[in-house]
Amino acid sequence: MRNKQLRVVITGASSGIGAATAIAFARQGSHLVLGARGEAGLDDIARRCREAGGTAQVGLVDVTDADAVADFAAQARAALGGIDLWFSDVGIGVVGKFADVPIADHQRVIETNLVSHMNDAHAVLPIFQAQGHGIWVNMISVGGYVTAPYAAAYAASKFGLRGFSAALRGELHRQPDIHICDVYPTFVDTPAVHHAANYTGARLSFPPGALMPDQVARAIVKLARQPRATTVVGMPAPLLKLASFANPIAAVLMDRFMERWTRKADPAPVTEGTLYAPPREASGVGGERPSSQPASKALVLGVALLATAVGVGLARGRN
Protein backbone atom coordinates (compact mmCIF):
# COMPACT_ATOMS: atom_id res chain seq x y z
CA MET A 1 0.00 0.00 0.00
CA ARG A 2 1.06 3.57 -0.60
CA ASN A 3 1.24 5.19 2.81
CA LYS A 4 -0.36 8.45 1.68
CA GLN A 5 -3.54 6.53 0.89
CA LEU A 6 -3.67 4.66 4.16
CA ARG A 7 -6.63 4.79 6.50
CA VAL A 8 -5.18 4.04 9.93
CA VAL A 9 -6.73 3.43 13.34
CA ILE A 10 -4.56 3.43 16.47
CA THR A 11 -5.69 2.56 19.98
CA GLY A 12 -3.39 3.70 22.75
CA ALA A 13 -2.53 6.72 20.62
CA SER A 14 -2.31 9.38 23.30
CA SER A 15 1.34 8.79 24.22
CA GLY A 16 4.41 6.66 23.66
CA ILE A 17 4.73 4.31 20.70
CA GLY A 18 1.11 4.80 19.63
CA ALA A 19 1.61 8.57 19.48
CA ALA A 20 4.92 8.28 17.65
CA THR A 21 3.37 5.92 15.11
CA ALA A 22 0.42 8.24 14.53
CA ILE A 23 2.79 11.11 13.77
CA ALA A 24 4.92 8.89 11.52
CA PHE A 25 1.89 7.88 9.46
CA ALA A 26 0.73 11.49 9.36
CA ARG A 27 4.04 12.50 7.78
CA GLN A 28 3.11 10.14 4.94
CA GLY A 29 -0.22 11.93 4.51
CA SER A 30 -2.29 9.13 6.05
CA HIS A 31 -5.81 9.58 7.40
CA LEU A 32 -6.04 8.65 11.07
CA VAL A 33 -8.55 7.90 13.78
CA LEU A 34 -6.93 7.90 17.21
CA GLY A 35 -8.38 6.26 20.31
CA ALA A 36 -7.47 6.31 24.01
CA ARG A 37 -8.95 7.14 27.43
CA GLY A 38 -7.26 10.51 27.89
CA GLU A 39 -8.76 13.47 26.05
CA ALA A 40 -5.83 15.83 26.67
CA GLY A 41 -3.31 13.36 25.29
CA LEU A 42 -5.43 12.53 22.23
CA ASP A 43 -5.99 16.17 21.36
CA ASP A 44 -2.26 16.86 21.68
CA ILE A 45 -1.26 14.02 19.33
CA ALA A 46 -4.04 14.77 16.85
CA ARG A 47 -2.74 18.35 16.61
CA ARG A 48 0.78 17.06 15.99
CA CYS A 49 -0.52 14.73 13.28
CA ARG A 50 -2.26 17.57 11.46
CA GLU A 51 0.87 19.69 11.69
CA ALA A 52 2.83 16.75 10.22
CA GLY A 53 0.62 16.63 7.12
CA GLY A 54 -2.02 14.02 7.89
CA THR A 55 -5.64 14.16 8.96
CA ALA A 56 -6.63 13.01 12.43
CA GLN A 57 -9.87 12.46 14.28
CA VAL A 58 -10.10 11.29 17.88
CA GLY A 59 -12.41 9.10 19.90
CA LEU A 60 -12.44 8.50 23.65
CA VAL A 61 -12.62 4.75 24.22
CA ASP A 62 -11.85 2.34 27.04
CA VAL A 63 -10.61 -0.67 25.08
CA THR A 64 -11.41 -3.04 27.95
CA ASP A 65 -15.10 -2.44 27.06
CA ALA A 66 -15.87 -4.64 24.04
CA ASP A 67 -19.07 -2.77 23.13
CA ALA A 68 -17.26 0.56 23.26
CA VAL A 69 -14.53 -0.78 20.98
CA ALA A 70 -17.10 -2.09 18.50
CA ASP A 71 -18.76 1.34 18.40
CA PHE A 72 -15.37 3.04 18.01
CA ALA A 73 -14.48 0.74 15.10
CA ALA A 74 -17.80 1.39 13.36
CA GLN A 75 -17.34 5.15 13.74
CA ALA A 76 -13.76 4.94 12.45
CA ARG A 77 -14.87 2.94 9.43
CA ALA A 78 -17.59 5.48 8.65
CA ALA A 79 -15.22 8.41 9.08
CA LEU A 80 -12.46 6.94 6.92
CA GLY A 81 -14.55 5.00 4.42
CA GLY A 82 -12.70 1.82 5.43
CA ILE A 83 -9.72 0.74 7.54
CA ASP A 84 -6.46 -0.37 5.98
CA LEU A 85 -4.38 -0.78 9.14
CA TRP A 86 -5.35 -1.05 12.80
CA PHE A 87 -2.61 -0.73 15.40
CA SER A 88 -3.43 -2.10 18.87
CA ASP A 89 -0.96 -0.39 21.17
CA VAL A 90 -2.71 -0.15 24.53
CA GLY A 91 -0.56 -1.44 27.37
CA ILE A 92 0.03 -0.87 31.07
CA GLY A 93 2.17 -2.48 33.74
CA VAL A 94 2.42 -3.12 37.44
CA VAL A 95 5.80 -3.74 39.05
CA GLY A 96 6.16 -5.66 42.28
CA LYS A 97 6.29 -9.13 43.81
CA PHE A 98 3.20 -11.04 42.70
CA ALA A 99 1.82 -11.54 46.21
CA ASP A 100 2.48 -7.90 47.15
CA VAL A 101 0.33 -6.54 44.33
CA PRO A 102 -3.48 -6.48 44.77
CA ILE A 103 -5.11 -9.12 42.60
CA ALA A 104 -7.38 -6.43 41.14
CA ASP A 105 -4.31 -4.73 39.69
CA HIS A 106 -3.12 -7.99 38.11
CA GLN A 107 -6.57 -8.43 36.60
CA ARG A 108 -6.50 -4.90 35.26
CA VAL A 109 -3.20 -5.58 33.48
CA ILE A 110 -4.62 -8.71 31.84
CA GLU A 111 -7.80 -6.87 30.82
CA THR A 112 -5.82 -4.00 29.33
CA ASN A 113 -2.87 -5.76 27.72
CA LEU A 114 -4.58 -8.92 26.49
CA VAL A 115 -8.37 -8.69 26.49
CA SER A 116 -8.37 -5.18 25.00
CA HIS A 117 -6.30 -6.37 22.03
CA MET A 118 -8.78 -9.20 21.56
CA ASN A 119 -11.58 -6.61 21.64
CA ASP A 120 -9.78 -4.60 18.96
CA ALA A 121 -9.30 -7.63 16.72
CA HIS A 122 -12.89 -8.77 17.22
CA ALA A 123 -14.11 -5.35 16.12
CA VAL A 124 -11.88 -4.85 13.09
CA LEU A 125 -11.51 -8.33 11.57
CA PRO A 126 -15.09 -8.36 10.21
CA ILE A 127 -14.34 -5.01 8.59
CA PHE A 128 -11.19 -6.46 7.00
CA GLN A 129 -13.11 -9.51 5.82
CA ALA A 130 -15.83 -7.36 4.25
CA GLN A 131 -13.17 -5.30 2.45
CA GLY A 132 -11.07 -8.30 1.52
CA HIS A 133 -7.90 -6.81 2.98
CA GLY A 134 -6.41 -5.26 6.12
CA ILE A 135 -3.44 -5.26 8.47
CA TRP A 136 -3.77 -5.75 12.21
CA VAL A 137 -0.62 -4.75 14.09
CA ASN A 138 -0.36 -6.24 17.56
CA MET A 139 2.10 -4.53 19.92
CA ILE A 140 3.65 -7.15 22.20
CA SER A 141 7.32 -6.65 23.37
CA VAL A 142 10.27 -8.90 24.18
CA GLY A 143 8.19 -9.79 27.22
CA GLY A 144 6.29 -12.13 24.93
CA TYR A 145 9.37 -14.37 24.84
CA VAL A 146 11.40 -13.62 27.98
CA THR A 147 9.61 -13.56 31.33
CA ALA A 148 10.22 -10.85 33.91
CA PRO A 149 9.85 -11.48 37.65
CA TYR A 150 8.19 -8.54 39.44
CA ALA A 151 5.92 -8.24 36.36
CA ALA A 152 4.00 -11.53 36.43
CA ALA A 153 0.73 -10.20 35.02
CA TYR A 154 2.57 -8.29 32.31
CA ALA A 155 4.43 -11.46 31.31
CA ALA A 156 1.18 -13.44 31.25
CA SER A 157 -0.47 -10.83 29.03
CA LYS A 158 2.41 -10.69 26.55
CA PHE A 159 2.78 -14.47 26.27
CA GLY A 160 -0.99 -14.58 25.77
CA LEU A 161 -0.86 -11.99 23.00
CA ARG A 162 1.72 -14.04 21.12
CA GLY A 163 -0.48 -17.12 21.28
CA PHE A 164 -3.55 -15.12 20.29
CA SER A 165 -1.88 -13.80 17.14
CA ALA A 166 -0.71 -17.28 16.18
CA ALA A 167 -4.26 -18.58 16.51
CA LEU A 168 -5.62 -15.78 14.33
CA ARG A 169 -3.07 -16.50 11.60
CA GLY A 170 -4.23 -20.10 11.55
CA GLU A 171 -7.85 -19.06 11.16
CA LEU A 172 -7.09 -16.53 8.42
CA HIS A 173 -4.73 -18.62 6.28
CA ARG A 174 -7.27 -18.72 3.44
CA GLN A 175 -7.43 -14.91 3.38
CA PRO A 176 -3.90 -13.91 2.29
CA ASP A 177 -4.67 -10.20 2.09
CA ILE A 178 -5.51 -10.00 5.80
CA HIS A 179 -2.32 -9.84 7.85
CA ILE A 180 -1.66 -10.32 11.57
CA CYS A 181 1.61 -8.56 12.43
CA ASP A 182 3.31 -8.82 15.83
CA VAL A 183 5.87 -6.23 16.98
CA TYR A 184 8.44 -7.04 19.68
CA PRO A 185 10.55 -4.05 20.78
CA THR A 186 13.10 -4.18 23.56
CA PHE A 187 13.04 -1.40 26.19
CA VAL A 188 11.47 1.79 24.77
CA ASP A 189 11.79 5.23 26.39
CA THR A 190 8.13 6.25 26.69
CA PRO A 191 5.94 7.80 29.42
CA ALA A 192 4.90 4.24 30.36
CA VAL A 193 7.50 4.13 33.12
CA HIS A 194 5.69 7.03 34.83
CA HIS A 195 2.26 5.46 34.22
CA ALA A 196 3.07 2.05 35.71
CA ALA A 197 1.73 0.93 39.06
CA ASN A 198 4.63 0.47 41.44
CA TYR A 199 4.71 -1.72 44.54
CA THR A 200 8.49 -2.09 44.81
CA GLY A 201 9.19 0.92 47.00
CA ALA A 202 11.86 1.95 44.47
CA ARG A 203 11.81 4.59 41.75
CA LEU A 204 11.33 3.11 38.27
CA SER A 205 13.50 4.20 35.34
CA PHE A 206 14.68 2.95 31.97
CA PRO A 207 17.87 0.99 31.32
CA PRO A 208 20.63 2.56 29.24
CA GLY A 209 20.30 1.97 25.53
CA ALA A 210 16.49 2.11 25.54
CA LEU A 211 14.98 2.61 22.10
CA MET A 212 13.35 5.87 21.09
CA PRO A 213 9.63 5.61 20.20
CA ASP A 214 10.35 6.85 16.66
CA GLN A 215 12.47 3.75 16.02
CA VAL A 216 9.53 1.48 16.73
CA ALA A 217 7.16 3.73 14.81
CA ARG A 218 9.28 3.43 11.67
CA ALA A 219 9.10 -0.35 11.88
CA ILE A 220 5.30 -0.23 12.16
CA VAL A 221 4.93 2.15 9.22
CA LYS A 222 7.04 -0.27 7.17
CA LEU A 223 4.52 -3.03 7.88
CA ALA A 224 1.96 -1.11 5.83
CA ARG A 225 4.13 -1.78 2.76
CA GLN A 226 5.62 -5.12 3.78
CA PRO A 227 3.42 -6.99 6.27
CA ARG A 228 5.17 -9.74 8.19
CA ALA A 229 4.19 -11.96 11.07
CA THR A 230 7.07 -11.05 13.40
CA THR A 231 9.00 -7.79 13.68
CA VAL A 232 11.64 -7.44 16.39
CA VAL A 233 13.03 -3.97 17.12
CA GLY A 234 16.21 -3.54 19.11
CA MET A 235 17.83 -6.95 18.67
CA PRO A 236 18.07 -9.64 15.97
CA ALA A 237 14.89 -11.73 15.80
CA PRO A 238 16.66 -15.11 15.96
CA LEU A 239 18.36 -14.11 19.23
CA LEU A 240 15.04 -13.20 20.80
CA LYS A 241 13.53 -16.55 19.94
CA LEU A 242 16.58 -18.41 21.19
CA ALA A 243 16.51 -16.38 24.40
CA SER A 244 13.15 -17.94 25.24
CA PHE A 245 14.96 -21.24 25.85
CA ALA A 246 16.83 -19.58 28.70
CA ASN A 247 13.70 -18.52 30.56
CA PRO A 248 14.15 -20.71 33.67
CA ILE A 249 17.69 -19.46 34.30
CA ALA A 250 16.98 -15.88 33.26
CA ALA A 251 13.95 -15.66 35.54
CA VAL A 252 15.99 -16.66 38.59
CA LEU A 253 18.77 -14.23 37.73
CA MET A 254 16.32 -11.41 37.13
CA ASP A 255 14.56 -12.08 40.42
CA ARG A 256 17.86 -11.79 42.28
CA PHE A 257 18.67 -8.61 40.40
CA MET A 258 15.29 -7.06 41.22
CA GLU A 259 15.65 -7.88 44.91
CA ARG A 260 19.02 -6.12 45.04
CA TRP A 261 17.79 -3.20 42.92
CA THR A 262 14.75 -2.48 45.10
CA ARG A 263 17.04 -2.26 48.14
CA LYS A 264 19.48 0.16 46.50
CA ALA A 265 17.37 2.32 44.17
CA ASP A 266 15.93 5.69 45.18
CA PRO A 267 12.75 5.23 47.22
CA ALA A 268 9.30 5.88 45.75
CA PRO A 269 5.77 5.67 47.14
CA VAL A 270 3.35 2.93 46.21
CA THR A 271 1.14 4.03 43.31
CA GLU A 272 -1.56 2.61 41.05
CA GLY A 273 -0.24 4.74 38.21
CA THR A 274 -2.74 5.00 35.36
CA LEU A 275 -4.21 1.53 35.82
CA TYR A 276 -7.70 2.87 36.48
CA ALA A 277 -7.68 6.42 35.10
CA PRO A 278 -5.85 8.20 32.28
CA PRO A 279 -3.31 10.97 32.91
CA ARG A 280 -4.96 14.34 33.45
CA GLU A 281 -2.50 16.07 31.13
CA ALA A 282 -0.90 15.16 27.82
CA SER A 283 2.04 12.79 28.27
CA GLY A 284 3.69 13.26 24.88
CA VAL A 285 5.60 10.74 22.84
CA GLY A 286 8.56 10.15 25.15
CA GLY A 287 12.18 9.67 24.18
CA GLU A 288 12.88 13.15 25.47
CA ARG A 289 15.23 12.46 28.39
CA PRO A 290 18.60 14.24 28.28
CA SER A 291 21.28 12.22 26.49
CA SER A 292 23.62 12.92 29.40
CA GLN A 293 21.38 11.10 31.90
CA PRO A 294 23.66 8.72 33.82
CA ALA A 295 22.99 5.00 33.75
CA SER A 296 22.81 3.27 37.10
CA LYS A 297 24.82 0.14 37.74
CA ALA A 298 21.63 -1.71 38.56
CA LEU A 299 20.10 -0.94 35.20
CA VAL A 300 23.27 -1.92 33.40
CA LEU A 301 23.05 -5.25 35.21
CA GLY A 302 19.47 -5.65 34.00
CA VAL A 303 20.59 -5.36 30.40
CA ALA A 304 23.41 -7.79 31.10
CA LEU A 305 20.91 -10.34 32.40
CA LEU A 306 18.95 -10.13 29.18
CA ALA A 307 22.17 -10.70 27.28
CA THR A 308 22.87 -13.71 29.53
CA ALA A 309 19.48 -15.13 28.63
CA VAL A 310 20.29 -14.77 24.96
CA GLY A 311 23.68 -16.40 25.42
CA VAL A 312 22.26 -19.39 27.22
CA GLY A 313 19.62 -19.74 24.53
CA LEU A 314 22.32 -19.76 21.87
CA ALA A 315 24.29 -22.41 23.74
CA ARG A 316 21.24 -24.63 24.03
CA GLY A 317 20.44 -24.09 20.39
CA ARG A 318 23.84 -25.50 19.41
CA ASN A 319 23.42 -28.67 21.48
DSSP string, 126-188: HHHHHHT-EEEEEE--GGGTS--TT-HHHHHHHHHHHHHHHHHHHHTTT-TTEEEEEEEES-B
Check: CB of residue 12 under 8 Å from CB of residue 188.
Answer: no
Check: CB of residue 176 under 8 Å from CB of residue 229.
Answer: no
DSSP string, 97-109: -GGGS-HHHHHHH
pLDDT of residue 244: 63
pLDDT of residue 279: 82
Give me the percent of the chain exceeding a pLDDT of 70. Answer: 81
pLDDT of residue 316: 32
Q: Is 133 exposed, middle or buried (0-12, 13-18, 19+ CB in 10 A)?
A: middle
| Nearest residue to 86 via CA among 139, 50, 130 | 139
pLDDT of residue 295: 37
C-alpha–C-alpha distance, residues 275 and 94, integer Å: 8
* Strand partners for 136: 86, 180
Average pLDDT for 131-136: 97
pLDDT of residue 113: 96
The model's confidence at residue 291, banded by pLDDT at 50, 70 and 90, is very low
> 145, 150, 154, 184: which is the annotated catalytic residue?
154
User: What is the 8-class DSSP label of residue 76?
Assistant: H
Residue 25 has pLDDT above 80, yes or no: yes
Residue 304 has pLDDT above 60, yes or no: no
- Out of 53-67, 129-143, 178-192, 210-224, pick the least confident: 178-192
Check: CB of residue 141 under 8 Å from CB of residue 129.
Answer: no
Check: CB of residue 193 under 8 Å from CB of residue 182.
Answer: no
Residue 209 has pLDDT above 70, yes or no: yes
Contacts of 68 (CB under 8 A, 6+ apart): 61, 62
The model's confidence at residue 314, banded by pLDDT at 50, 70 and 90, is very low
**pLDDT, averaged across the chain:** 84
Residue 156 has pLDDT above 80, yes or no: yes
pLDDT of residue 23: 98
- Out of 44-53, 98-107, 258-267, 308-317, pick the least confident: 308-317
pLDDT of residue 294: 38
Average pLDDT for 71-80: 98
Active site residue 154: yes
Q: Name which CATH class applies to 3-318.
A: alpha beta
